[in-house]
Amino acid sequence: MAFLAAAIQMNGGRDKGANLERAERLINEAARRGAEFVALPEVFSWRGRRDDAPAQAEDLDGPTLTLMARLARDLKLFLLAGSIYERIPGQARSHNTSVLFGPDGARLAVYRKIHLFDVDLPGRVTVRESDAMLSGSEVVCADTPLGKVGMTICYDLRFPELYRQLAFAGASIVTIPSAFTFPTGEAHWEVLVRARAIENQCYVIAPAQFGPNVHGFADYGNSMIVDPWGRVIARAADREDIAVAAIDLEYLQTVRRNLPSLTHVRLSGGHGH
């Protein structure tokens, strides 16, 4: 079985309405190009000052995800709402939450980002995601007619044990909606995305933010789709763009058959899979 997937690249800012209009236009364009699985980047609906985040957080049935559910249903596609700030009752902080919708508009899976990015490089950049976010704790692999989809977000990419758990849960596709900063992105983004695909023999769909952001630094972009052999089969240009590629699950099985490394795992609780 093969189908087209799309990784949407955009530059989100403080204007939620403008971000959602842009996302809707790009989702429609991806559908027009034949994509049956469309993925948006991390925090696609709003990016602003951490102080403003609590006011922008929404519930799972709030306006942003209601719109995403409608688009999935109207366009009859699987839609990954990259991530939003999800309101937590009684908390100032939010979850960084990725939601997968099916072609009937139903919510198939909810993943809350486990690994939060805190870094302080004096004179260069300070990012403290934990100031605004609470980490999740659940590994999420969604069962869909297109195969099992393992859900991750951005900084999770640096923690291979999460991806190995998803592989053992049956994931044939892994999603990594992201907003990688330029210096770390230039050094590590592609090699890590390809490594996660190679070592777990799965397709990786990695939609990302690009360009200058509200925090005063640039995001790397390079949204991509990578096959189970580690080849980059689609990559976004350095602008608002859509990377589209075929996901071929028969090819995935061929890779796993020809190089059966997942059956040889001996450590990290993976023995016997």
Main-chain phi, psi angles of 221, to 5 degrees: 70, -130
* pLDDT for residue 87: 97
pLDDT bin (cut points 50, 70, 90) of residue 271 is very low
Q: What 3-state DSSP class applies to 34?
A: coil
Name the residue with tokens 């360009």. Answer: 211
pLDDT band at 176 (very low <50, low <70, confident <90, very high): very high
Domain coverage including residue 230:
2-264
Looking at the domain assignment, is residue 42 inside a domain? yes
Query: Does the pLDDT at position 71 exceed 50?
Result: yes
Which CATH number covers residue 33?
3.60.110.10
By the 10 Å C-beta count (0-12 exposed, 13-18 middle, 19+ buried), 161 is classed as exposed
Residue 15 within a domain? yes
pLDDT at residue 169, rounded to an integer: 98
Q: What pLDDT does 45 receive? A: 97
> Which residue has better confidence, 119 or 133?
133
Which residues, 6+ apart, have CB-to-CB distance to 181 below 8 Å? 125, 127, 217, 218, 219, 220
- Cβ-based burial of 17 (10 A; exposed 0-12, middle 13-18, buried ≥19): exposed
The answer to whether position 78 is within a domain reads yes
Task: Please report the pLDDT score of residue 213 as a whole number.
Answer: 87
Would you say residue 61 lies in a domain? yes
Question: Side chain identity at 158, as an amino acid letter?
Answer: R
Options 16, 36, 42, 129, the catalytic residue: 42
What mean pLDDT do residues 170-197 have?
Answer: 96
| Domain membership flag for residue 270 | no
pTM value? 0.95
**Is the pLDDT score of 125 beyond 80?**
no
- Domain presence at residue 269: no
Helix, strand and coil in the chain, % to nearest 5 = 30, 35, 35
67-88 average pLDDT score: 98
Q: Catalytic annotation on 141?
A: no
Q: For residue 165, tell me if it sits in a domain.
A: yes
- Distance separating alpha carbons of residues 212 and 224, to the nearest angstrom: 19
Q: How many domains does the chain have?
A: 1
Residue pair 146/37 in contact (Cβ under 8 Å)? The answer is: yes
Strands 210-212 and 147-151, how do they pair?
unpaired
Query: Is 240 inside a domain boundary?
Result: yes
Residue 16 is among the residues annotated as catalytic for this protein: no
Closest residue by Cα to residue 8 from 28, 18, 17: 28
3-state SS record for 165-193: HHHHCCEEEEECCECCEHHHHHHHHHHHH
Residue 1 has pLDDT above 90, yes or no: no
Catalytic residue chosen out of the listed positions 58, 113, 141, 202: 113
**What rounded mean pLDDT belongs to the chain?**
94
- Is 42 among the residues known to form the active site? yes
